[in-house]
Amino acid sequence: MTAINAIDFTVQINKLHHLQIVEKVYSEELAPNQVLLEIDRFSFTSNNITYGVVGEQLDYWKFFPTHSGFGIIPAWGLANVVASKHPDIQVGQRFYGYYPMSTHLLVTAKTSKKQGFWDVTEHRNSLPAIYNFYTDTAQDSSYTPETENLISIFRPLFVTSFLIDDFLAEENFYEATQILITSASSKTALALVSLLANRKQKETLNLNLVGLTSKKNIGFVSKLAVYDQILSYEHLADIREFEKTVIIDFTGNHNLQYQLQRLLGNNLIYNCLVGLVDWQNQAGEKELPTKGEFFFAPTQAEIRQKVWGPTEFQQRLGRAWQFFINNIQQIISIKEYIGPESLKVLYLDMLEGKVNPEHGNIVRLSSSSRI
């Protein structure tokens, strides 16, 4: 019986700056249908920090439980099978999906046609289905080895943007003539504005697409050339406050919400709360005039999958993805972080908002990744 050494990158649930690397050992002796995966790489963006920030509210700590008071932040990436007791899953197969920030994941697999498997480990059964499916890269028509870093970084975020674009179009944009996107440099925002700009052109919509970003990120955001107007947070007065406006908020910054709501008044017709990148500034003294509506991608995905069916859902998503990925790879450069010490630096920087939006961060923790 061979033992496999593994590590988990754990963080204290109520004190995200406090982290602990936990070493553990897996046996290659597995129970029926169990599969042991070695995680080759995963992406890391503010979205992972948000998983930690809302981990208790939205059950993100429940995916990969660890020692008491600590949690493992989930991340999207690719892993190889190193041991399998499932008849349809072989050592060496490579799967894309939702992994712990760890070197390994042990799952109980239930295969779905040939496309991949569900992890049906008991504690995951009550969690949103979208997170429990692992895609066999050999069966995935949009997978290529050359784009797997981009897939790890953008695919989960892109799904959200695809769903928001679809949702707004379904609602006829609430009759808005302006869409205001905060944290315009974030990857989810870039995906969203690309989809909106494409729709605007195809359907000749009267929509002013405005990106709000930090002063230092204006140059980067301009590179994508899809926002109609890009403003820094210091220039909110340049917003066309007379337009009927939808806000798509990725920052979660209370004071920014307050300023935008005051500026737009009754012209704010829909306030869509998607992200919390500025998680340390969620609270503020001034009461917000209007409440927003929280957008949760897994819920919307389930609604759309029921209406379109899973096959059509994937086809629509696949077409939109191809269009986006060709554009975005021109402006993003991949940055690799190898080993746990390197991840510590990235994680702590990201917590503090030290983010260079031009970088697509890929983490490689496992020792075979590091050779």
Ligand X SMILES: NC(=O)c1ccc[n+]([C@@H]2O[C@H](COP(=O)([O-])OP(=O)(O)OC[C@H]3O[C@@H](n4cnc5c(N)ncnc54)[C@H](OP(=O)(O)O)[C@@H]3O)[C@@H](O)[C@H]2O)c1
- Among residues 278, 324, 332, 340, which is the contact residue for ligand X, using CB under 6 A? 278
Report the residue from 353, 358, 359, 369 that binds ligand X according to the rule CB under 6 A. Answer: 353
Q: Who's near 70: CB < 8 A, 6+ residues apart?
A: 10, 11, 12, 13, 20, 22
Site stretch for ligand X (CB under 6 A), options 139-147, 199-207, 290-298, 323-331: 290-298
Q: Let me know: does 139 contact 234? Beta carbons within 8 Å.
A: no
Cα(158)–Cα(86) distance, integer angstroms: 31
Pick one of 167, 258, 296, 308: the residue that binds ligand X (CB under 6 A).
296
Which residue type sits at 341? E
Instruction: Out of 151, 277, 332, 343, point to the residue binding ligand X (CB under 6 A).
Output: 277
Residue nearest to ligand X (CB): 353
Q: Which residues pair with 35 in a beta bridge?
A: 84, 107
**Shortest Å distance, C-beta 90 to ligand X:** 32
Q: How far is the CB of 117 from ligand X (least distance, A)?
A: 24
Among 184, 196, 268, 365, binds ligand X (CB under 6 A): 184
194 lines the binding site for ligand X (CB under 6 A): no
45: burial class by Cβ within 10 Å (0-12, 13-18, 19+)? buried
Stretch that binds ligand X, among 5-13, 143-151, 185-193, 234-242 (CB under 6 A): 185-193
| Cα–Cα distance measured from residue 303 to residue 203, given in angstroms and rounded to the nearest whole number | 24
C-alpha span between 287 and 283 (Å, rounded): 10
Burial 64-78, CB ≥16 within 10 A → b, else e: bebeeebbbbbbbbb
Give the range of 62-70, 119-127, 236-244, 289-297 binding ligand X by CB under 6 A.
Answer: 289-297
| 257 lies in the site for ligand X, by CB under 6 A | no
Alpha-carbon span 43 to 150, nearest angstrom: 9
Is the Cβ of residue 46 or residue 93 nearer to ligand X in the bound state?
Answer: 46
Side-chain-facing half-sphere of 24: CA atoms under 13 Å = 16
Binding mask 76-105 for ligand X (x = CB under 6 A): ------------------------------
Q: Which residues bind ligand X (CB under 6 A)?
A: 45-47, 50, 157, 160, 183-188, 213-214, 217, 250-251, 274-278, 295-297, 353, 355, 357
